Amino acid sequence: MHEGAAPVTTRVVIFGAGGLGREVLQVVRDQQRVGVEIECLGFLVDAGLAGPTVVNGIMVSQDLAGFAADSSVQFVVAVGRPAARARIVRRIERAAGSRFATIVHPSSILGDTVSVGAGSIILPAACLTTDVRVGQHVLINPKVSIAHDCLLEDYVSLSPSVTLAGGVRLGQGCELGTGAIVLPRQQVDCWSIVGAGAVVITPVAANTTVVGVPARRVGIRPPGWQETD
């Protein structure tokens, strides 16, 4: 940017007008209050979906093609379930290419060596300490704590107050319930579910559901289940 030039405003459209979508809108508004050049152009929902046309003062649209035609627009998918989020991301990519905004609340703490991929959402009061890698389209809810050297692959969802100790690895599409804890250097493999309040003390295999303290397996799904969920 040339000296004296006005900063470029990030223009975002939020896919999903439910609770998470409204939370993301609030993050955008809180970013504006601290001087971030960002604006929300509207909510986007599935075609044919009945519902309000305005939510929290923001227009609700079903016109993906219209937004996709504007090359300045970036998208953020505010859908909690990882499998659904992945499918919507692919739909947007087919219509608009890979144009995704990363949304981080100003109250969250991210160390200097933390990286966050495109399309990811970090809600208020999350803490990511150092050498943490967050993939694309990851959802980190309020008061999540992520210690050093953790890796979160694409489409991971962490519910409020999840705690990851140092060196944890979460595979693509993992979903951790409210208050779940993963102990140091443990791995939760792709498309697995950790129940609310569970404590993971041993590795969790792919496509597995675990609950309890310590976490124990209560279900396993066939590979590829997320494509039809």
Q: Is the pLDDT of residue 2 over 60?
A: no
What pLDDT does 1 receive? 46
DSSP label of 108: S
Alpha-carbon distance of 9 to 123, in angstroms, equals 21
Q: Cα-Cα-Cα-Cα dihedral of 132, 135, 138, 144, to 10°?
A: -10
Residues whose CB falls within 8 Å of the CB of residue 4, separated by 6 or more in sequence, listed in order: none
For the chain, give the percent of residues with pLDDT over 70. 97
Which domains are present in the chain?
Answer: 10-96 (3.40.50.20), 107-219 (2.160.10.10)
Residue holding tokens 């310590």?
Answer: 214
Residues whose CB falls within 8 Å of the CB of residue 112, separated by 6 or more in sequence, listed in order: 130
Alpha-carbon distance of 26 to 58, in angstroms, equals 11
Instruction: Please provide the distance, in angstroms rounded to a whole number, between the alpha carbons at the two ends of the chain.
Output: 45
Cβ–Cβ < 8 Å for 12, 100: no
pLDDT tens digits along 149-182:
999 999 999 999 999 999 999 999 999 999 999 9
Calculate the alpha carbon distances from 187 to 150, 177, 205, 215 in Å: 10, 16, 8, 13
> Judging by beta carbons within 10 Å of its beta carbon (0-12, 13-18, 19+), is residue 90 exposed, middle or buried?
exposed
The model's pTM is 0.95
- Residue 54's CB is within 10 A of a number of other CB atoms, namely 11
DSSP label of 104: E
Cβ–Cβ < 8 Å for 118, 135: no
pLDDT tens digits along 188-204:
999 999 999 999 999 99
For the chain, give the percent of residues with pLDDT over 90. 93
DSSP label of 32: H
pLDDT tens digits along 139-150:
999 999 999 999
Structure tokens at 149: 């050297």
Alpha-carbon distance of 65 to 60, in angstroms, equals 14
Alpha-carbon distance of 56 to 109, in angstroms, equals 27
Lowest mean pLDDT among 49-53, 80-84, 109-113: 49-53
